[in-house]
Chain A
Amino acid sequence: MGKSQSETRPGAGGQLLDPRGRVEVEEKGLAPRLESLEGTTVGLLDNAKPNADRFLDAVGEMLVDEYGVEAVERASKHAAAVSGGSLLPELRAECDAVVNAYGDCGSCTSWCVHDSATLELQGVPTATINSDEFVRLGQSDARALGLPGLPLVTVPHPMGDVSPDVVRSRARDTIAEIAAVLTTSRTELDDEYRGKFLGENEELTDEDLYCPL
């Protein structure tokens, strides 16, 4: 018999090169948090997803009625799959903290996290709302932007087609975490959130391919 098959098959042609892009992520810190929400102005960033407005209405009311927030300032993106653009410097100028709602799909999660990262890096403590189905994407995005510990507050997926009552009860269920995210020290937050949805060295895995709904 002649040569084994592997000997006759063509080789790869020498040293192979890595096709993957070099990613240089410089880890950055979260914005300093507020001592208390008492007397502050909180921005409510609405990314135009259905029910984001209702969710933020409820959050705003609770922050004012129960946490002593003095005023809430609404900012509305004209579409979810785009950057917050000029709304972000406006929020930074007028608000002590921001609640950003919400990521429940691919591009809206990514841009939502991108907006929050921008605000955090400009010194604005931000609570980012993400549906649980997409939160691992959100954490991947946050990691790629150098803020692996970006606090992502989860709500059940989906959010868009639930009744106003359910939206309100989800705001109720998350309000304490939202308040904590804006007032807990950034070291503690970083500890809590950096490995919360994806382990420190964990990448998204194939299980994320299958929608559990």
Chain B
Amino acid sequence: MSERSEPLDVEGDVEEVYERFYEEEMTDGLPIIPPSRDRVDRMLGATDREPTESLGEVPPKYGAATVEKVAVNAVMAGCKPAYLPVVIAAVEAMLREEFNLYGINTTTHPVAPLLVVNGPIVEELNLNYGYNVFGPGWRANATIGRALRLVLLNVGGGTPGKMDRATHGQPGKFSFCIAENERKTPWAPLHVERGFDESTSTVTVFGTEGPHEVNDHISQDGGGVLSVMADVLATVGNNNAIGTRGELVCVFSPEHAETIANDGFSREDVRWFLYDYARNRVGKIRDNGPEGLYDWDTIDIWEKRFHTPDGDARLPLVKRPEDITVLVAGGAGKHSMVLHSFGETTSVTAPIER
């Protein structure tokens, strides 16, 4: 069991505190709410868990993520106490071995943990699942995502340019948290799809790039919209093309989802369609690098997928259709979003305990 958080030798008004925290690399660059004992205690009031309980050690420095440390960072991010259980669940999910946080928090790749929140807590916390869902304007989305980043920076030591070696990073590394538009989805919500009861609230973490636009104002049927999406997905310069554990996150706008569902597509059909049509030509992948990346004799059949003499053979971006997550979020409009994976990570869904 760990001890309580240490007091800091920092005093002054909010601007002086911001300056000191910035100089000592304890921020993401933006102003913070000073994490005073009172504020942290109020934050901790939102959970029954012991402040000293450790959720695990956050790589690459392997600092202990005690419940209190998570609360300190949540205060700094501007979270309301009611948000804390979401942040705690997200930290626990990220620390699962299959998520590969050690790779994600140090890599040159522009990956960030994307949080997707489902269940009754979405309405309770006023999390945005509509217009501008990946954008600014909603305190819950902005500060929950930011708290997670501050945990990665402060508890994990994933400081940009030091142990976080992302070549460029991406804007989602400030905050990357959406909710699913469960009112508008024609399919079961993500948490139900993953075996949770509808009344349970969950957070799912994905290791992804930034979202990429799928504009289709033309198609009147499911196959049309999905063909455009497949075309956006099937490029060779992403880690799905070469990774061994890539997933895809497809965020359909309500309008696109409706067009697709009205055409009789189930979620399973959507996955199969994208699995079948979002493919790269083997020759194109070979010409663009990955040949020579693997020792063909020792790896399983999925990694041997480039090893066909037929350069025109087409390879899917994921190993199995179920590695494609189908979500609905966003407001009105004929745009959807797709997110490619870090390639060596498996998404994790965790229940939010309150």
A203 touches B61 (CB 8 A): no
Tell me, in angstroms, the Cα distance from A20 to B62 when the chains sit together: 11
User: A residues within 8 A CB of B10?
Assistant: 12, 16
Q: Which of A74-116 contact B (CB under 8 A)?
A: 74, 76, 78-79, 81-83, 105-107, 109-111, 114
Q: In the complex, what residues of B have CB within 8 A of residue A137's CB?
A: 106, 162-163, 165
A144 CB to closest chain B CB (Å) equals 5
Chain A min CB distance to B109 (Å):
7
Cross-chain pairs A/B with CB under 8 angstroms, 28 sampled? A9-B14, A12-B13, A12-B17, A13-B36, A16-B34, A17-B8, A17-B35, A17-B68, A17-B72, A18-B6, A19-B76, A22-B2, A48-B294, A74-B295, A78-B300, A81-B342, A81-B344, A106-B108, A107-B109, A110-B106, A110-B107, A114-B102, A137-B163, A140-B60, A145-B62, A204-B161, A208-B161, A208-B162
Q: Mark B76-91, 1 if CB is under 8 A from A, else 0.
A: 1000000000000000
- The minimal Cβ–Cβ distance linking A56 to chain B, given in whole angstroms, is 10
B231 interfacial contact with A, CB 8 Å: no
Q: How far is the CA of A82 from the CA of B7 in the complex (A)?
A: 37
Q: 7 tightest A-B contacts by CB?
A: A21-B63, A106-B165, A21-B155, A209-B161, A107-B107, A12-B34, A204-B162
Question: Is the C-beta of B288 less than 8 angstroms from some C-beta in chain A?
Answer: no
CA distance A162 to B3 in the complex (A): 50
A9 contacts B300, C-beta separation under 8 Å = no
Residue in chain B with minimal CB distance to A7: B13
Instruction: Give the shortest distance, in Å, between B64 (CB) and chain A (any CB).
Output: 5
A50 touches B12 (CB 8 A): no
Interface pair B64/A144, CB less than 8 Å apart? no
Size category of the A interface is: 35 or more
Q: Please, which residue of chain B has its CB at the minimum distance from the CB of A211? A: B167
Chain B residue at minimal CB-CB distance from A12: B34
Measured CB to CB, the closest approach of chain B to A93, in angstroms, equals 17
* A144-B61 in contact (CB<8A): yes
Question: Is A82's CB under 8 angstroms from B100's CB?
Answer: yes
* Contact stretch, chosen from B37-45, B179-187, B325-333: B37-45
How many residue pairs at the A-B interface have CB separations less than 8 Å? 190
What residues of chain B lie closer than 8 Å to A9, measured between beta carbons?
A: 13-15
Partner of A76, one of B100, B106, B109, B295: B295
Q: Counting CB contacts under 8 A, is B30 at the interface?
A: no
Contacts A18-B6, A18-B72, A79-B244 known; A23 to B63 CB distance under 8 Å?
A: yes
- A120 interfacial contact with B, CB 8 Å: no
When distances are taken between beta carbons in the complex, the residues of chain B under 8 Å from A212 are: none
Which has the most chain B C-beta neighbours within 10 Å: A12, A50, A105, A109? A12
Q: Are A106 and B106 in contact (CB under 8 A)?
A: yes
Contact status A141-B60, CB under 8 Å: yes
Interface residues of A in 109-136 (CB under 8 A from B): 109-111, 114, 134
Across the interface, do A12 and B12 meet the contact criterion of CB distance under 8 Å? yes
Q: Kindly state the separation between the CA atoms of A204 and B163 in the bound complex, as whole angstroms.
A: 8
How far, in Å, is A174 (CB) from chain B's closest CB? Answer: 21
Chain B stretch 262-307: residues in CB contact (< 8 A) with chain A: 289, 292-295, 298-300, 303
Q: Is A10 among interface residues, defined by CB-CB distance under 8 A?
A: yes
Within 8 A of A (CB), among B1-58: 2-3, 5-8, 10-17, 26, 34-40, 57-58
Residues of B within 8 A of A11 (CB): 12-14
Q: How far is the CB of B2 from chain A (nearest CB, A)?
A: 6
By a CB distance below 8 angstroms, the chain A residues around B157 are 20-21, 23, 144
Contacts of A107 in B (CB 8 A): 102-104, 106-109, 344
Q: Is A188 an interface residue (CB 8 A)?
A: no
Residues A15 and B36 in contact, CB atoms below 8 Å apart: yes
Establish whether residues B5 and A23, one from each chain, have CB atoms under 8 Å apart when the complex forms: no
Please name the residue on chain B nearest to A145 by beta carbon. B62
The verdict on A65 contacting chain B, using a C-beta distance below 8 Å, is: no
CA distance A18 to B63 in the complex (A): 12
CB neighbours (8 Å) of B62 from chain A are 21, 23, 25, 144-145
Which residues of chain A are within 8 angstroms of B295 by Cβ–Cβ distance? Answer: 46, 48, 53, 74, 76
Asked whether A12 lies within 8 Å of B36 as measured between CB atoms, the reply is yes
A83 to B244 Cα, complex, angstroms: 13
Question: Is A200 part of the contact surface with B, judged by Cβ < 8 Å?
Answer: no
Complexed CA–CA distance, A79 and B293 (Å): 8
Given known A-B contacts A15-B37, A19-B72, A78-B299, A134 and B165 have beta carbons under 8 A apart: yes
Instruction: Assess whether B103 is in contact with A111, with CB atoms less than 8 Å apart.
Output: yes
Q: For A12, what are the chain B residues with a Cβ–Cβ distance below 8 Å? A: 10-14, 16-17, 34, 36
**A21, closest chain B residue (CB):** B63
Among the listed B3, B14, B154, B343, which residue makes an inter-chain contact with A21, where contact means beta carbons less than 8 Å apart? B154
Q: How far is the CB of B25 from chain A (nearest CB, A)?
A: 9
- The proximity string for A residues 165-176 relative to B, scoring 1 for CB distances below 8 Å and 0 otherwise, is 000000000000
Fill in one digit per residue for A1-40: 1 if any B CB lies within 8 Å of its CB, else 0.
Answer: 0000010011111111111111111000000000000000
Whether the Cβ atoms of A13 and B298 lie closer than 8 Å is no
Q: Is the CB of A20 within 8 A of B161?
A: no
Q: Please, how many angstroms separate the alpha-carbon atoms of A21 and B67 in the complex?
A: 11
Which residue in chain B gives the minimum CB-CB distance to A24?
B64
